Amino acid sequence: MCDETDLANFDRLKPATGRVNRRQFGVMGAAATLAACASGPAEAGDASALAEGDVTVTTPDGTMDGFFVHPADGAHPAVIIWPDIAGLRDAFKNMARRLAASGYAVLVANPFYRDKPAPQFADFADFREKDGFQAVGPWRAKMTPEAIGRDAVAFAAWLDAQDAVDPARGIGTQGYCMGGPLTVWSAVGTGRVKACCSFHGGGLVTEDAQSPHKLLGQTDARFLIAVAQNDDARAPEEKTVFAEAAAAAGKEAEVEVYAGDHGWTVPDSPVYAQEAAEKAWARLLATYAAAL
């Protein structure tokens, strides 16, 4: 998953006079967000016909603050989005709006709600400047498989109670960076999750007994595992281990290495790669169409 090595690699984008500053980083992210979101409504419908708002969900561990967006009319399959290590912020709200315009009721979770309400960081540039890894470390440690399972049960119950959600349909879940394994733990926590989509997810294959790849048989989901090219270069065997584990568990899994570095799908990331991100988005929609 994203670590200090990835942040060091971001300096490939720096001008000759020095590293990218927050203003330059922010401008790149904003431009990418606009480009990504501009292509969304055309594929799905009228993005203005959405309803949205900040919400709270009671869990066994406290009160999760999140963002909920959905088509203004009708009941739709639900999706839970687990953000990357920089947390719930505008980039993920915009991604949720785009997904909602395709006919989904989308809850973006604050993964760090046990410690601090969102946004913890305004964008990825803010995360970098505030030494986000040091701040996030203790928060992330609380996000155990058991804790995420409890969250997933609470989120599913909350979603099923919303008029915008069709509880007869399955729930999709998608995670980025550290959110990748959370998708699998969510599926283990509740039988309502029918699709798990991981984008440059870290920690999907570990030696731990609760490693996601060891739990696939405890889910009722299909899987989309979109791997960053530099993550694959560091651990090329992991994609094969995951695919083989899915096959052994009898689960459908699409595992592919994309032409993008870690973070390539998130618009405020300095390595956002639009062409590869659009390919991943298309595969996300295809996975949900087949599973939900």
pLDDT digits (tens, 9 = 90+) for 214-254: 999 999 999 999 999 999 999 999 999 999 999 999 999 99
Closest CA to 286 of 176, 172, 155: 172
Mean pLDDT for the chain overall: 88
Here the tokens at position 257 are 């290495």
Total-model pTM: 0.88
Residue found under tokens 């913890």: 120
Quick one: fold of 4-291? Rossmann fold (3.40.50)
What is the rounded CA–CA span in Å between residue 191 and residue 196?
12
pLDDT of residue 23: 41
In sequence order, the β-bridge partners of residue 172 are 79, 195
* Of the candidates 214, 209, 221, the residue with the CA atom closest to the CA atom of residue 254: 221
**Contact (CB, 8 A) for 268 and 124:** yes
What local confidence, expressed as pLDDT, does residue 124 receive?
A: 86
Q: What is the mean pLDDT of residues 48-64?
A: 96
Q: Report residue 46's pLDDT band, with 50, 70 and 90 as the boundaries.
A: low
pLDDT on residue 192: 95
- 118-171, pLDDT tens digit by residue? 999 999 899 999 999 999 999 999 999 999 999 999 999 999 999 999 999 999
Distance, CA of 151 to CA of 190 (rounded, Å): 9
Residue 191 has φ and ψ, to the nearest 5°, of -70, 0
Decide which of 21 and 148 is more confident.
148
How far apart CA 75 and CA 49 sit, in angstroms, is: 14
The DSSP string of 181-227 is HHHHHHHHH-TTEEEEEEES-SSSS-SSTT-GGGSGGG---EEEEEE
